[in-house]
Amino acid sequence: MRSIKFAASTLLVLSLGVQAETMTRDNGAPIGDNQNSTTAGANGSVLLQDVHLVQKLQRFARERIPERVVHARGTGAFGNFVASGDFSALTMATPFAEAGKQTPVFVRFSTVIHPKGSPETLRDPRGFATKFYTDQGNWDLVGNNLPIFFIRDAMKFPDMVHSLKPSPVTNVQDPNRFFDFFSHEPGATNMLTWVYSDLGIPASYRQMDGNGVHAYKWINAQGQVHYVKFNWRSQQGVKGLSPSEAAKVQGNDFNHLTNDLYQAINQGQYPKWDLYVQLLKPEQLNDFSFNPLDATKEWPGVKAIKVGTMTLNKVPDNFFAATEQAAFAPSNLIPGIEPSEDRLLQGRIFSYADTQLYRLGANNSQLPINQARVKVLNHNQEGAMNMATGAGDVNYQPSRRLPYAEDGRYKAVQTALAGTVQQLAIKKQDNFSQAGAFYRSLSKVRQGYLVEALAGDLAKVKDAGTQHVMLSYFYKADADYGSRLTQAVKGDLAKVKTLAASL
Ligand code: HEM
């Protein structure tokens, strides 16, 4: 009787004419019945010996892994990066070694604060993370759509994120909480102005630029250093939504960003971005009214050079395997690219790899999406879910028996230091001028969207002190901007001016 059932299921031919394959349990054994549990007689209890049922329920209950603590909702795509020239005079980084050189990539776009499954129409910066599978290991450029950030020191990141996440009491995001935090953070004025502009709700991921935000170092074979900022420019143009457009899109399709990217790629309309770099010599770092290694600042007036173009041309076959399990880390660097001394970046260099050891496990770099496309040779070993096969009994270095060698060309670049160990904020903060310049660069219509969206949230702030401190920051950035916001929330302009004068 059993063998007849088995044969019937293997030979089952669907009405579509497709020959069905026999299902198996995780141990590979064929499954006899995926519809009915094993019971003791017609009316008896279900038996624990139904190992297929038990395994199915166990695996189901374990389907979720912790969502990313930030950037939980994302959309990924594969593609390639093609260098537009030979930039070896500036960097040893191999994707830039010669014109036409191709490097495969995986990109994950994301929202930041809102959880997995939340509407993609909510205001947020957007993540733009690129994994370059280079021939010298993986390089992750983990950036955002906006060119700057809220804070300049990693010490403040968990507090800032707590203030932006839902209240621990109500589980609802609350402007009273995040403006309370930002009223102590004048350096955030620039980023808040960008986030509340129409760029805080992109029309599509394709119509969004990307930015590395921080300065990194480019290092050439002679050990010469340039500070470098990276900027992806969308060939599709850049488009954000006004508050009323966003409300309309949210009503129609709150997955508009994911749906747009999948549809475009599946229809063969492959989106493209050009990669630009801005370069500064170390001796130029003091030439500005601000510190160029401050992540709240752009580098206005520094020439941008195009170094390549990226095309995204394939969506993953499985969302979880690729997009959810992707581990992007600013510490995934390759020869020719090092972190700058930017304090925010220095914190990120630690934080991502650390969270991924928890979120995905000790061997997350062995998952296919994260695996380097070159041989990984070191003596890191074991740990949960290890898929590597050992290379004999020499699991240490140096050794005469297994001569793995270092290569001195890839030592850290030497950097001169001066001063004392200290805990002090950076000098030359210049907290407001770039926010004002950005406001003035917007058309009248876009200034209107910004004032509408920002005043909408500032009006919810119940504490008049917090509200007026925030208004004074925007007034200090630009008097027209601050006055319009003050008027919109029915604030006290004289008080705002007095507070702004003391900044
Ligand atoms: C000290 C400041 C920051 C800290 C501590 C921090 C921390 C984190 C953490 C823990 C994650 C989750 C990673 C994971 O689970 O795989 C994350 C994701 C991300 N962060 Fe940050 N972050 C910081 C600032 C920034 C900045 C300045 C940017 C943009 C330049 C940025 C862009 C991203 C992106 C794009 C992701 C999502 C990566 C992905 O798609 O998987 N973060 N961040």
In a domain, 104, yes or no: yes
CA distance 227 to 219: 9
Domain that residue 9 falls in:
1-36
Q: 125 and 270 share a domain?
A: yes
CB neighbour list of residue 401: distance below 8 Å, 6 or more residues apart:
394
| Sequence letter at residue 500 | A
- 6: pLDDT strictly greater than 50: no
**For the CA of 344, the nearest atom of ligand 1:** 1
- The pLDDT of 437-457, averaged and rounded, is 98
Which of 366, 392, 408 is the last residue before a domain boundary?
366
CA–centroid distance, 70 to ligand 1, in Å, is: 7
Q: 351 and 489 share a domain?
A: no
Mean pLDDT of the chain: 95
Q: Are 304 and 65 in contact (CB under 8 A)?
A: no
How confident is residue 300, by pLDDT bands cut at 50, 70 and 90? very high
- The pLDDT of 459-485, averaged and rounded, is 98
Per-residue pLDDT, 126 = 98
In a domain, 450, yes or no: yes
- The pLDDT of 383-391, averaged and rounded, is 85
Q: 4 and 89 share a domain?
A: no
In a domain, 414, yes or no: no
Per-residue pLDDT, 7 = 41
391-400 pLDDT, tens per residue?
689 999 999 9
- The pLDDT of 15-30, averaged and rounded, is 87
Per-residue pLDDT, 389 = 76
DSSP 459-489: TT---HHHHHHHHHHHHHH-HHHHHHHHHHT
Q: 103 and 199 share a domain?
A: yes
Q: Which residue did the predictor score with more confidence, 17 or 198?
A: 198
CB neighbour list of residue 204: distance below 8 Å, 6 or more residues apart:
236, 239, 256, 257, 260, 261, 264
Least confident among 18-27, 131-140, 355-364, 452-461: 18-27
Instruction: Look up the CATH number of the domain holding residue 128.
Output: 2.40.180.10
- 11: pLDDT strictly greater than 50: no
Per-residue pLDDT, 179 = 98
Q: 296 and 445 share a domain?
A: no
- The pLDDT of 126-132, averaged and rounded, is 98
Q: Which of 142, 232, 354, 370 to mutate to test the pocket of ligand 1 (most atoms within 8 A of CB)?
A: 142
Per-residue pLDDT, 16 = 60
Per-residue pLDDT, 15 = 55
In a domain, 478, yes or no: yes
- 134: pLDDT strictly greater than 80: yes
- 388: pLDDT strictly greater than 90: no
Q: For residue 352, say whether it is annotated as part of any ligand binding site.
A: yes
61-72 pLDDT, tens per residue?
999 999 999 999
Which of 329, 348, 366 is the last residue before a domain boundary?
366
In a domain, 231, yes or no: yes
Q: 32 and 84 share a domain?
A: no
Per-residue pLDDT, 4 = 43
Per-residue pLDDT, 10 = 45
- 207: pLDDT strictly greater than 60: yes
**For the CA of 154, the nearest atom of ligand 1:** 1
In a domain, 278, yes or no: yes
Give residues (CB < 6 A) around ligand 1.
68-71, 74, 108, 110, 127, 129, 142-144, 149, 154, 157, 213, 295, 326-328, 344, 347-348, 351-352, 355-356, 359
Q: 454 and 353 share a domain?
A: no
In a domain, 254, yes or no: yes
Q: 84 and 150 share a domain?
A: yes
In a domain, 115, yes or no: yes
CB neighbour list of residue 38: distance below 8 Å, 6 or more residues apart:
46, 47, 49, 50, 53
Which of 366, 395, 418 is the last residue before a domain boundary?
366
Q: 338 and 443 share a domain?
A: no
Least confident among 219-228, 234-243, 386-395, 482-491: 386-395
Q: 18 and 78 share a domain?
A: no
The domain total for the chain is 3
Q: 268 and 338 share a domain?
A: yes
Percent of the chain having pLDDT more than 90? 94
CA dihedral of 388, 392, 393, 398, whole degrees rounded to 10: -90
Least confident among 3-7, 172-176, 381-385, 491-495: 3-7
Pick from 55, 383, 92, 422: nearest CA to 225: 92
Q: 142 and 15 share a domain?
A: no
- 92: pLDDT strictly greater than 50: yes
Percent of the chain having pLDDT more than 70? 96
Residue nearest to atom 35 of ligand 1 (CA): 127
- The pLDDT of 468-482, averaged and rounded, is 98
The 10 Å Cβ neighbour count of residue 223 is 11
